Amino acid sequence: MNGIPMEHGLIVAAVLFALGVTGVLIRRDILFILLSLEIMLNAAGLAFVVAGSRWLQPDGQLMFIFILAVAAAEVSLGLALILWMYSWHKTLDVDCASKMRG
């Protein structure tokens, strides 16, 4: 565990997070937006784990378990919403689901 310096781990987490944000913003397919959200969550989890290993504390990994639970709940809800949206709009394009504008 001593081989990888903390900065490298954090940079990887930041890059992952940035990729996730970019995905949320530029993808129009709601399935990919959900995927990108998962990437952002995992980036946050990675940052926790790296920080936990730096100070030799179990808290970072503990937090990752929490994030996994949140991610699981989010995915189940998100997939249900996607199914419902598909049956309603016959598409997965989020820009079409803008009925409540204004």
Partner 1 sequence: MLEFIWLIVAFPFAGFIILILTGSRLSRRGISVVGTGSVGLAAIIAILTGINFIISPPPGDAYTQPLWTWLAVGGFSPLVSLYLDALSVVMVLVVAIVGFFILLYSAEHMAREAGMRRFFAYMDLFVGSMLVLVMADNLLLLYLGWEGVGLCSYLLIGFWYDDPANIKAANKAFIVTRIGDTAFAIGLLLLFVHLNTLSIQGIIKAAPWQWTEGSNIAFWAALLLLGGAVGKSAQLPLQTWLPDAMAGPTPVSALIHAATMVTAGVYLIARMHVIFQLAPLVQGFVAVIGAATLLLAAGSAIAQWDIKRVLAYSTISQIGYMFLALGVGAWSAAIFHFMTHAFFKALLFLGAGVVIAGLGGEHDIYKMGGLRREMPVTFWTFLIGAASLAALPLITAGFYSKDLILFAAWTSERGSSWLWAAGSIGAFLTGLYAFRLVFLVFFGKAVTPVNDRPGPAITIPLVTLAGLSLMSGFVQMPLVIAPVTVFSDFMSRSLPEMSMLHVSFKVDLFLFLAAALISPAGVFAAWWLYIDASRHVTDFTEKPAGALIHRLSFDGWGFDLLYDAVFVRPFVWAARVNRGDFVDLFYRGVAWFSSRLSLSLARTQSGMVRQYALGVAMGAVIALGLVLVL
How many of the other CB atoms lie within 10 Å of CB of 54? Answer: 15
- Using DSSP, state whether 56 is helix, strand or coil: coil
d(CA 102, CA 79) in angstroms, rounded, equals: 27
35 interacts with partner 1 by CB under 8 A: no
> Looking at 12, 24, 63, 67, which residue binds partner 1 (CB under 8 A)?
24
> Looking at 6, 8, 15, 28, which residue binds partner 1 (CB under 8 A)?
28
Single out the segment in contact with partner 1 by CB under 8 A; choices: 5-13, 56-64, 75-83, 90-98. 90-98
d(CA 42, CA 36) in angstroms, rounded, equals: 10
Binding site for partner 1 (CB under 8 A): 21, 24-26, 28, 33, 94-95, 97-102
